[in-house]
Amino acid sequence: MANTWGYGAMTNSLGDIQNARSIIIFGANPAVNHPVGFAHFLKAKERNNAQIIVVDPVYTKTAAKADHFCQIRPGTDIPFMYGMLNIIFKNGWADESFINDRVYGMDLIKEEAKKWTPEKVADVTGVPADKLIQITTVYAKNSPGTLIWAMGLTQHTIGSSNTRLAPIVQLALGNMGKAGGGTNILRGHDNVQGATDMGCLSNSLPGYYGLADGSWKYFAKQWNVDYEWLKGQFQSPEWMNKNGFTLARWWAGVLDGKNGNDKIHNGKTGLKALFVMGNGITSVAQQAKIKEGLDNLELLVLADPFVNEAAVLTDKQDDVFLLPAATQFETEGSVTATNRSAQWRRKVVEPLYESKPDQEILFELSKRLGFYDQYTASMKDSSGKFTWPEDATREIARIIKTIGLTGWTPERLKKHTDNWHMFDQVSLRGYGEMKGEYYGLPWPCWTENHSGSPVLYNTNLSVKDGGMGFRNRFGLEHDGVSQLAAKGSAPKGSKVDGGYPEITRDNIEEVLKIKLTEEEKKKIGKNWKVDRSNIIAQKCMEAGIAPYGNAKARARVWTFPDEIPMHREPLHSPRQDLTKKYPAYVDKDNHFRVDTKYISKQTEQDWSKDFPINLVTGRLVNMNGAGMENRASKYLAALSPEMFCSINPDLAGQLGVRDGGMIWIHSPEGTKIKVKAKYSYSVSPDRVFLPFHFAGHFQGEDISHKYPKGTKPYAIGESANTVTNYGYDIITQIPETKGGLCRIERA
Amino acid sequence: MSEMSRLKFYCDEGRCIECDGCSIACAEAHELPAGINRRKVITLNEGKEGLEYSLSIACMHCNDAPCEQVCPVDCFYIREDGIVLHDKETCIGCAYCLYACPFGAPQFPREGAFGAKGAMDKCTMCAGGPLETNSEKERHIYGQNRISEGRVPVCAAMCSTKALLVGDAQEVSAIYRERVLARGHGVQTSPMTWSRAYGAK
């Protein structure tokens, strides 16, 4: 996403889905994961006669509400989407003027799409050719169409190719930058967008500032800390700019390449301590490896309102600490919704018992580690005092220019939350006192009186009303082709009729056709991303110019191993014949500090022989993420008191498994789980579905006695992630939980 | 009795996604013991393409409620607004009402070594019982009395997709009509369950 057009975020909003005439959903199950947001889908269907299309390996609750459904084989979204593009281009349904003016590299996509005839797609994906043609026709003919996805598209070794090809489908149809269109990625938890924006990533600083000296210097200055001091915190300066470990593979850092584990590149030491805040460990792939990692730590700290499963999974006896963290109701501050809107949350009660809100825990930690003063330096006033969380919010607004958080002052955010009834739920447009603003000021919100941007890349609005073109992020030209948007495709009211580069101190006068005063010249920052004076953004608003430029989206990402998305079979594929034709990537060394296997894993053996069944994981409606707090609620737990496996009666019958009988699920990792079989027609006989919310059993053994007294949840069971397979995305390292293999035996 | 003040339930099978928000909200609000399901979500043909439907079901508070007609101890009473309630202190747990009920609404706690049935429990449309309104005892035996405070029953208030509606029959009918017209297909003239619960009109 970010590599296609600048930002990796949902482009429209949940409410805006009501404007769609067709809705195609890949690997997402909003009826289960976003039940309240799903009302907008249902209203689109009811009021707009929108056609809902679901492409999923499982007949989900969302599929039950769809007009069209196709049961795709896990990991074959790319052939499916190329199949759609094949039909779209062949029939002349593509929006050629949009492609010409605002997209780079579509010709390569057209070439690749030619290869994916409906018949070939049918062979690879398992979706009949006539179904593909029907779905494509419905989607292309009912415009605008919105494209929805979630983890079903991302959690693959080729996840980053999937999430590029989906935007390309939308670009081809001209569905971008308009109400009812867009690529709407549904974030899976409260404030995931906010956590990502704030840099809970090991490859960037907050606000997606890259790991580079320039960014560190900018942040050092904004944080009021000495850059040299910051540098001194690292083992040696070169580590400042290297990617860290990821959530998916931190355990490899602990295991340090021993006993045949993947080698690491981490300053000559393994990881020794793990500090977990609000991440249920049962939701992460490869539980057996995680257990090994936990067991080998020197220190394990778990800060959660409930007991994190990590405490139960590990055999570690000493130096395991449970810190009682407060819930969101016991603290205050802003959170960011899936559509980039902020919301202010007020404290409902004081933290119960000895629990503390996360920031208190981190402040105390920084005191013990000796950097509290630096940690809080930029929030403090001249007398050394600060107010939480307002001063933190101001710090964010002051520093984060890349995604336009300048307008997110605590005063404005509070006013929005207090007046939420004065906004339209479909357009997010405010009325009455809130006129001229969109609910939650969806970023980019360029200035302190900017309206917010409800739909990204919409050129039908002026920049000050939330309009913009695609971001100029990848240079001015590639292979001699200009990367700027064509003439006539600037946002409404723009001083420049066409593309323009991102705005810097050096080009502002030329692009905006203005003269800066000497005073302004003195104050202005080097470019829009580091312009603390905000003069660039101010001047841009006056000229109807987006500070980040107006460029073409790119279908071709020349820095990726596959310049255009290419199909590659999952590492563990049931179609061994296709792994030769569409092999995995070559192995990648030092991928977020860990050597990661691709082709060597895929070709290690014919996995499908011993493990013939596809394995898909997902969620249940009564559980959220790891289900840590939900399993501890008696009413929620009662809906799914134990772990189960959805299995087609045909498959079960062949294996002699009865409905409600126990089965062993074996994985290529050499791990196994014992779970209850639940007959279900939602899965075809070649695959099974596992919910991933359970913990307390491990490979057939009940380990729930390890919960501290009085904390054992009502629902316990095996973690699905004990049998998810090895496999990580080539760019992001997200684990492949949606396309593995397994073998099922009666227990 | 004016039709204006008749309260009815309606669950839209086009919108119900089996999220169980209604049943959980109900259990939480009334602090129901395990095994007592005043409201439940039923899914038919789970996993079968084009045939899967879900519907939230509880006591429908019928016209001429069959439970009331068969009760040997006459513990039922019907309010002016149509809400069917019963006196738990009179109920003998015979379960005749369960056999009479077309919706399987009555619930019975199982007590003691032989699982003897206790007094029947069912949806009150969040209107409490025959005891003093909003008294501690009413809350303990019948659960919250939200209707007396002018609040919507908790199940419908919680419904994530607004599939489950409750309120004035004419208001509910108007919303149903609007949705049917908007969908522009089908000739169903009244909501599922209504002909059985409320008769032909």
What does the block give as tokens for A181? 């269109």
pLDDT score at B4? 53
Query: Is residue A564 over pLDDT 80?
Result: yes
Tell me the per-residue pLDDT of A390-436, one tens digit each, with 9 for 90 and over: 999 999 999 999 999 999 999 999 999 999 999 999 999 999 999 99
| CB-based contact, B31 to chain A, within 8 Å | no
CB atoms within 10 A of CB A600: 11
- Is B21 in CB contact (< 8 Å) with chain A? yes
Helix (H/G/I), strand (E/B), else coil: B109: coil
Q: Which helix (H) or strand (E) holds A607?
A: helix A607-610
Distance from CA of A51 to the nearest CA of B (A): 12
Q: What mean pLDDT do residues A449-477 have? A: 95
Shortest alpha-carbon distance between residue A126 and chain B (Å): 16
Helix (H) or strand (E) holding A32: helix A30-33
Q: What average pLDDT is seen over chain A?
A: 95
Whole-number Å distance between alpha carbons of B122 and A219: 61
- Each residue's pLDDT tens digit, A250-264: 999 999 999 999 999
What does the pLDDT read at residue B197?
A: 83
C-beta neighbour count of B181 within 10 angstroms? 9
The answer to whether residue A61 neighbours chain B at the CB level (below 8 Å) is: yes
Give the CATH fold of the A2-185 domain: Dimethylsulfoxide Reductase; domain 2 (3.40.228)
Alpha-carbon distance values, A718 to A103, A644, A683, B34 (Å):
47, 9, 20, 24
Residue pair A257/A263 in contact by the 8 Å Cβ criterion: yes
Above 90 in pLDDT, residue A158? yes
Whether A650 contacts chain B with CB within 8 A: no
pLDDT tens-digit series, residues A343-388: 999 999 999 999 999 999 999 999 999 999 999 999 998 898 999 9
Whether residue B157 has pLDDT greater than 70 = yes
* Mean pLDDT confidence for A314-329: 95
Considering only CB atoms, A35 lies closest to which of B14, B28, B161, namely B161
- The whole-angstrom separation of Cα A175 and Cα A184 is 12
Q: Provide mean pLDDT across the span A653-662.
A: 96
Check pLDDT > 70 for residue B189: no
**How many percent of chain A have pLDDT more than 70?**
100
Query: In this complex, which of B24, B47, B162 lies closest to A39 when CB atoms are compared?
Result: B162
Smallest Cα–Cα separation from A340: which of A731, A682, A9?
Answer: A9
* pLDDT attached to residue B35: 85
Q: How far is A166 from chain B (nearest CA, A)?
A: 25
CA distance between the termini of chain B = 15
Quote the tokens at residue B144: 């919250």
Exposure string of A537-573, with b = 16+ CB inside 10 Å and e = fewer, is: bbbbbebbbbbbbbbbbbbbbeeeebebbebbbbbbb
Residue A99 has pLDDT above 70, yes or no: yes
Q: Where in chain A is the domain with CATH 2.40.40.20?
A: 576-746
Closest chain A C-alpha to B160 CA, distance in angstroms: 5
Q: At what angle do helices A390-399 and A410-418 cross, to 10 degrees?
A: 110
CATH code of domain A576-746: 2.40.40.20
Give the pLDDT mean for A125-149: 97
Chain B residue with minimal CA distance to A30? B17
Contacts B31 to A, Cβ<8 Å = none
C-beta atoms of A622 and B24 within 8 A: yes
- The first and second tokens of residue A637, run together, are 């737990």
pLDDT (0 to 100) of residue B188:
59
Distance CA A419, CA A39 (A): 22
Between B184 and B106, whose confidence is greater?
Answer: B106
How many angstroms away from the CA of A637 is the closest CA of chain B? Answer: 10
> Which tokens sit at A492?
């409404």
pTM: 0.94
Residue whose token pair is 């087609």: A648
How far is residue A642 CA from its own chain's centroid? 29
Strand positions, DSSP E, A635-705: 644-647, 662-666, 672-679, 687-691, 696-698, 701-702
The ipTM of this complex is 0.91
Cα→Cα distances A695→A244, A647, A712, Å: 28, 21, 10
Which of A36, A636, A682 lies at the smallest CB-CB distance from B46? A682
The answer, yes or no, to whether residue A678 has pLDDT greater than 70, is yes
Give the model's pLDDT for residue B113.
Answer: 75
Among A41, A50, A112, CA closest to A81: A112
Q: How far is CA A7 from CA A443, A456, A708, in A?
A: 10, 9, 44
What's the rounded mean pLDDT across residues B57-67?
95
Q: Tokens in use for A151?
A: 């983890």
Is residue A553 very low, low, confident or very high in pLDDT (cuts 50, 70, 90)? very high
Q: What percent of chain A has pLDDT over 90?
A: 96
The phi and psi torsions of B10 (rounded to 5 degrees) equal -150, 130
For residues A77 and A567, give the distance between their C-alpha atoms in angstroms, rounded to a whole number: 8
Q: Give the domains, in start order, of chain B with CATH numbers.
A: 3-198 (3.30.70.20)
pLDDT for residue A628 is more than 60:
yes
Q: What is the pLDDT of residue B1?
A: 45
Strand extents, DSSP E, A293-374: 299-304, 320-324, 333-336, 342-345
DSSP A697: E
Query: A49-98: per-residue pLDDT in tens?
Result: 999 999 999 999 999 999 999 999 999 999 999 999 999 999 999 999 99
Length of chain A: 747
Q: What is the mean pLDDT of residues A491-510?
A: 93
- The mean pLDDT of A692-717, rounded to a whole number, is 95
Q: What are the pLDDT digits (tens) for B104-150? A: 999 998 877 777 778 999 999 999 999 999 999 999 999 999 999 99
Element (DSSP H or E) covering residue A230 = helix A227-232
Q: So what's the pLDDT on residue B31?
A: 94
Instruction: Name the pLDDT band for B180 (thresholds 50, 70, 90).
Output: confident
Residue B189, burial from CB neighbour count under 10 angstroms (0-12, 13-18, 19+): exposed
Nearest to B24 among A62, A636, A680 (CB): A636
